[in-house]
Chain A
């Protein structure tokens, strides 16, 4: 079992570009969560998805951010027109219903 796979591990984007972060959940897990960690802070919830459905996006900024979890393929967190304040570590987690999380290794986004 390969665990939760995130890629890329590091991503550098210029201001105004788009960032696409990918997450493949653990085998058998149908619940995917995205969290953001700003420097020196804990993790903050962004969005919870199941296959083809966004269940809870209450932590997602209203503009420029979107997430999907298609029937086939990984979950994608997309940030359009990135700004310096988007620089952070983005973690994906997966779980079975009602069970604990397993996190991926994260994607560290740097906006220059």
Chain B
């Protein structure tokens, strides 16, 4: 399967700070999604971004498929951004491969 590495594994931010989360993957992909798992365990789809750049409010994401990485940017972080951020990729098969996540804690 496709190996997915996320960095950093843990991140603590002061409210209002910006951050960049990285996702590297080991093979060509045709699907990539970023998810936020909130402290209650719910998985929220943030971006479906197999290539290019997308923005949604304070969040944006960029995937450079040819170089096998994706970045998630969080600006002006808020305490509600806390949780685990997962990157998941698919190479055209039937499953998505998940990274082990970046655990983000935003402190007031």
Contact = CB atoms under 8 A, between A and B. Distances in A.
A103 B43 contact: yes
A72 interface: no
A43 interface: yes
Interface stretch (B14-22, B74-82, B91-99): B91-99
Interface in B52-91: 86, 88
A112 interface: no
Contact of B48 (A43, A100, A105): A100
B8 to A, nearest CB: 15
B7 interface: no
A15 to B, nearest CB: 23
A56 B95 contact: yes
Chain B, interface size category, equals 10 to 19
Is the contact region of chain A dominated by helix, strand, or loop, or is it mixed?
Answer: strand
Contacts of B101: 42
A57 B6 CA distance: 26
Nearest to B42: A105
A89 B40 CA distance: 12
A91 interface: yes
A106 B42 contact: yes
A90 to B, nearest CB: 11
Residue with the greatest number of chain A CB neighbours at <10 A, chosen from B86, B95, B100: B95
A63 interface: no
Contacts of A103: 35, 43, 45
Interface of B: 31, 33, 35, 41-43, 45, 48, 86, 88, 93-101
29 contacts: A35-B98, A41-B100, A42-B98, A42-B100, A42-B101, A43-B86, A43-B88, A43-B98, A44-B98, A45-B95, A45-B96, A48-B94, A55-B94, A56-B93, A56-B95, A59-B95, A89-B41, A91-B43, A99-B48, A100-B31, A100-B48, A101-B45, A101-B96, A102-B45, A103-B35, A105-B41, A105-B42, A106-B41, A106-B43
Interface of A: 33, 35, 41-45, 48, 55-56, 58-59, 89, 91, 99-103, 105-106, 108
